[in-house]
Structure 1
Amino acid sequence: MPINSLRVTEKIPADISQANCCNKFPLDIQDQPLDTLAELTQIAVDSAADAVFYTSSDGQICYANQVACRELGYSRSELLKLTLRDIDLELPAPDWTVYWEILKQQRSLTFESCYTTKESRSFSVEVKVSYLEYQGCEYQCAIARNISDRKAAEAALVDAKEQLQAVLDAVPGFVSWVSSDLRYMGVNKHLAAAYQLPAETFIGQKVGFLDNSPHFNDLVYDFLASDETTASKEVTASIQADKKTYLIVAQKYHKGSAAVFVGLDVTERKQVLLALQESEERLRQQAARLEQTVLVLQRTQTQLIQTEKMSSLGQLVAGVAHEINNPVSFISGNISHAGGYIKELLNLVELYQKHYPNPVQEIQYQTEELDLEFLKKDLIKLLNSMKVGSDRIRDVVRSLRLFSRTDEAEKKPADIHECLDSTLLILQNRLQAKGGRSGISLIKEYGNLPRIQCYAGQLNQVFMHLLTNAIDALEKEVKIPQKHGTIESKSLLFPPDSGEGIFEPEIRIRTEMLEGNEVAIAISDNGPGMTKEILGCIFDPLFTTKPPGTNTGLGLSICQYLIVEKHGGQLHCFSQPGQGTELIIQIAIGNG
């Protein structure tokens, strides 16, 4: 056995029998005769659980117990012919003298060695030797314990640790295991390499000794202090001045006395995910802009179509009005002259009757045939009726001209009441009774409004849409009193407790001056009304409650655009199921 492999220990107890004997004696051994004590000691040594040898100072075996014989495969007589160097291959002859001197100095030694059996099989032993002197001679007592199983277990443990370390090193991330006192028990090679430190440097160090991962340190402290057995969290850490994000997964073991932490670099994944989210957000914004653009185009297209219709209608109406206006003016102008002529003729007839009360028989006959008295009275009425009719035609022509003003490029002063009346004239036919429906009553409550600066043609379009919707609501179905009673006005023009109500079927138009140099126009009906959900969508482009193919769903959207965008005003709608609908327009007077 090489001298440098000797491990000096505490002195082995001198009483070998006390250390190895498994028997218990009822009597006090010290009270026994010496022969008895010697016999008991011999029995204890022979029955010891470990191999026991006595050798002389030159290594010659003087005694071997039964266990020594059994484990080495020799008989006792064969062992007594051998030296300790014959069975301990790690104790070469040149070192024996040095070994003996050390033993004499230390008095006892403990070391591990390897014994060889008779069949040349080797096994590991832990040897405890004591130096003895007896009758002037030197001896050693060696107690050798077979530790093959322990060595095998230690080797298996080392293999398991190496295998575990290999597995942890193969994990594509940072792995560390920490004790409950917050000290590193080990790390894998990736974590050690990231900090450019040997893995052994971490062992025994307090978590946070590098002072560059405070979020990870907090996670470790909180996890080991909690009752949770598993946890996962994303944390940021700075490694070599490079800030990264890691997904930390923690798991306790050994009944919570230690925990393993696995950190996976998710920086790139987070960046990709963030880029994907930003891309999705950009796509959503682009889609929203595209949808908005499509809606604007649809609204513009509808507005252009509507403008073109109104322009064509205006041209048609202007042409018709011109053609009608000329003969009507001729008739109207001549009626007054005809009236004067007729009065003069009637005066002449009266003079004849006054001065020639008895005309000839032929004149009397003709007078009676014509019923001259009735003719004089009815002729005046006829002329007056013709005058009223011609005036009515002239009013209709004037209203048509007012409604058809769609090509005005600038705001001009306009009379709101004239705009409303011209629109109502166009819709007069729809207000009349038809299709099992009684006529729609029209109530106009016009306030004293000044002329306002506006696009009159555009306001006519708005009034046309709102009045058409009101008529459609009243024509939708046969009115049921429970569904179509009166509605309470929410108009800005009348207080809630004014008692104003709309009785079916009717449309009410009210105008009034508001504070702040604004005017309000309220158009209400007592139709079926709308639910809260529908009311929230009525100004959305393409939204409609009418059957497919009968409406574009852009009418109220265009109205809102014309009032809000073109005139800087407001358009409000109030409605409840069974309580009718009221729309209120607010626009500024301007410089009109």
Structure 2
Amino acid sequence: MKDQDKTKEQLIEELVALRQRLDELETQTLTDNLTEEQLNFIVEERTAALKESNDSLVVEVVERQHAEKALRSAKDQLQTVLEAVPGMVSWISSDLRYIEVNQELANIFNLPREQFAGKNIGFLGTSSEFYELVRDFFASPEKETSREITSIIGEETRYYLIVAQKYDEGRAAFIIGIDISDRVLAETQLRRAKDQLQTVLEAVPGTVSWINSDLRYIEVNQQLADIFHLPREEFADKDIGFLGTSSEFYEFVRDFFASPEKETNREISSKVGEVVRNYLMGI
């Protein structure tokens, strides 16, 4: 086929092929003109370069293996620590999405750990307080924070102490949640018991006091405080004789603690203001 009958693409392909052939001929000519000594030098030089490259590759492979081993070891150590943490652990990004959670948190909600990754922290719908805590924490300049919150687990209200700390220049946070429900329940029951006791004490037609064995007041009821026109807290840790109103009362309590008796009673007199009054004391 004549050149004038060929397409542009065919002419370009022939031109490229021609240039490649010329390069090969030039290389062959150069090689033919080299002496044996020059050829040996080139071979040795290229062999040395290849060996150096191979040595570098071996070093890189060894370093990578060491790094991978160290990473596996670090991950194993981290996992051991996380399993020892007495609570839920989560990593959360500043866009309020879970990065990862520990197994305990996943178990509480009967979900696989990977189910949390990339999800908004409110997807469980169990605690608006937790969502607000994390949201406000990322919006603040604080590096760490803690707060008690409530959360619905199943049909039960649980109480958690949340501790959070930012990392990665504030773009993520490491958060631990410790279940304090038993403590909160105990405190609630204690407050309820104290309220009930206070109700009973207010109904008692007389004075009531708690005294320890070193003869100091622990607490008194409101009626006793009112008799001496003092606030109740004024009695706490004071010697029972600080009012100076009844040596009989002091001796009665002192002798009771010195005796093996578990309970006793006695009539005593006490000066209240300018009036001497008689009391039946029971311990």
Query: What is the one-letter code of the residue matched to 1:248?
Result: M
Q: Tell me, in whole angstroms, the C-alpha distance in 2 between the residues paired with 1:122 and 1:185.
A: 36
Given the alignment of the two structures, is residue 236 of structure 1 paired with residue 264 of structure 2, yes or no? no
Aligned pairs for 1:6-45 (under 5 A) are 33-45=70-82
5+ residue gaps in structure 1? 1-31, 251-592
Superposition pairs for residues 82-97 of structure 1, below 5 Å?
82-83=120-121, 87-90=126-129, 93=132, 96-97=135-136
1:463-542 residue pairs with structure 2 within 5 A? none
Q: What secondary structure, in the 3-state scheme, does the structure 2 residue paired with 1:211 have? A: coil
Match of 2:91 in 1: 54
Residue type of the alignment partner of 1:172? P
Q: Given residue 201 of structure 1, which amino acid in structure 2 is its aligned partner? A: E
- Give the 3 Å change call, closer, same or farther, for CA 122–163 of structure 1 in structure 2: same
Letter in 1 for 2:273: Q
1:107-186 equivalences under 5 Å are: 107=144, 109-117=145-153, 119=154, 121-133=156-168, 136=169, 138-186=171-219
Q: Is the 8 A contact 1:179 1:185 kept in 2?
A: yes
Give per-residue Cα distances to partners, 1:225-265, cap 9 Å, x unaligned.
Answer: 44433232221112233311111112xxxxxxxxxxxxxxx
| 1:210 alignment counterpart | 243
1:94 and 1:234, CA in 2 relative to 1: closer, same or farther beyond 3 A?
closer
Q: Secondary structure at the match of 1:190?
A: helix
**Cα distance, 1:98 vs structure 2:** 5.8
Structure 1 residues 238 and 79, CA gap change in structure 2 (3 angstroms): farther
CA distance in 1, matches of 2:254, 2:122: 57
5+ residue gaps, structure 2, are: 1-68
Q: CA deviation at 1:74?
A: 4.8
Would you say the 8 A contact 1:48–1:67 is kept in 2?
Answer: no
SS at match of 1:161: helix
The alpha-carbon deviation at position 73 of structure 1 amounts to 5.0
Shift of 1:166: 2.3
Residue matched to 2:108? 71
Larger Rg: 1
Alignment of 1:185-584 (within 5 A): 185-250=218-283
Give me the whole-angstrom Cα distance separating, in 2, the residues matched to 1:128 and 1:214.
Answer: 55
Matched residues in 1 for 2:202 and 2:251: separation?
25
Q: 1:90 to 1:232 in 2, by over 3 A?
A: same
Q: Distance in 2 between matches of 1:185 and 1:123?
A: 34
Amino acid across the alignment from 2:142: L
Change (3 A) 1:59 1:238: farther
Residue 196 of structure 1 aligns to a residue whose secondary structure is coil
Match of residue 501 from structure 1:
none
Matched residue type, 1:61: Y
SS at match of 2:241: coil
- Identical counterparts, % of pairs: 29
Separation (CA, whole Å) in 2 of partners of 1:82 and 1:230:
63
- Kept in 2, the 8 Å contact 1:186–1:200? The answer is yes
TM-score, normalised via structure 1 length: 0.32
2-side partners of 1:205 and 1:48: how far apart?
44
* Number of the residue aligned with 1:103: 142
1:96-149 CA distances to partner (integer Å, 9 max, x unpaired)? 446763631xx4x443221234x574310122333333xx55332222111222
Match of 1:443 in 2: none
| AA in 2 matched with 1:215 | E
Q: Is the alpha carbon distance of 1:50 and 1:238 closer, same or farther for their aligned partners in structure 2, counting shifts above 3 Å? A: same
Describe the shift of the 1:53–1:208 C-alpha distance in structure 2 as closer, same or farther (beyond 3 A): farther
Q: 1:116 to 1:224 in 2, by over 3 A?
A: same
8 A Cα contact 1:61 1:84, kept in partner = no
Between the aligned partners of 1:244 and 1:48, the Cα distance in structure 2 is 62
Comparing both chains, which one has the higher relative contact order based on Cα–Cα distances under 8 Å and sequence gaps of 6 or more? 2
Contact 2:202–2:221 under 8 Å retained in 1 = yes
Residue-by-residue CA offset, 1:341-361 (whole Å, 9 max, x unaligned): xxxxxxxxxxxxxxxxxxxxx
Q: CA deviation at 1:153?
A: 1.9
Structure 2 SS opposite 1:180: coil
Q: 1:141 to 1:232 in 2, by over 3 A?
A: same
State the secondary structure of the residue aligned to 1:246.
Answer: strand
| RMSD (Å), alpha carbons | 3.1
Return the alpha-carbon distance in structure 2 between the equivalents of residues 185 and 102 of structure 1.
45
Change (3 A) 1:87 1:217: same
**What SS does structure 1 have at the residue aligned with 2:242?**
coil
Distance change >3 Å, CA 158–CA 35, structure 1 → 2: same
Deviates more, 1:155-164 or 1:241-250: 155-164
Assess, with a 3 A threshold, how the Cα gap between structure 1 residues 58 and 227 changes in structure 2: closer, same or farther.
farther
Cα distance, 1:171 vs. partner?
A: 2.1
